[in-house]
Amino acid sequence: MWSDFKAFALKGNVLDLAIAVIIGSAFGKIVTSLVENIMMPLVGVLVSGVDFTNLKYTFKNADVLYGEFLQSVFDFAVISISIFIFIRLIGKFRNENDSKKVSKPDKKEKLLTEIRDLLKNENQQEVKKKMIVNVSTRKDREE
């Protein structure tokens, strides 16, 4: 039983998943800090400190806390926008690094590219000839 568990736990997918969960939780803390300590104070200045949490509707003896829901939706919007901007910045950074790493093609690669292009042109010319032949034979048949 122990060997089965050990084989399962040490599979690459399980380890990758465990690492992803740990990194995800750490990233979650970063995002939470970004939203609570940087974004929300700035948004609070922009919307004059609007806080929806105190909004409620009382129906008989029950309080419907729709303000909490609105605040959660607002927080979600701010978090998702923050993550979107962060991912875009990372994507731009990666693209800059990838474009710097592009190497010049070697002689073999250039030669293969030229051969491919020649074959493509030759194939296109053959297709055009066949089309011309088909059109001319149709005209002959019609006459």
The per-residue pLDDT for range 21-41, each reduced to its tens digit, is 888 888 878 877 877 787 767
| pTM for this predicted structure | 0.42
> What secondary structure, in 3-state letters, does 40-56 show?
HHHHHHHCCCCCCCCCC
CA distances from 83 to 29, 41, 94, 127, 132 (A): 13, 17, 16, 51, 57
Number of neighbouring beta carbons within 10 Å of residue 136:
10
pLDDT tens by residue, 39-81: 767 777 776 766 677 788 898 889 888 888 887 887 788 778 8
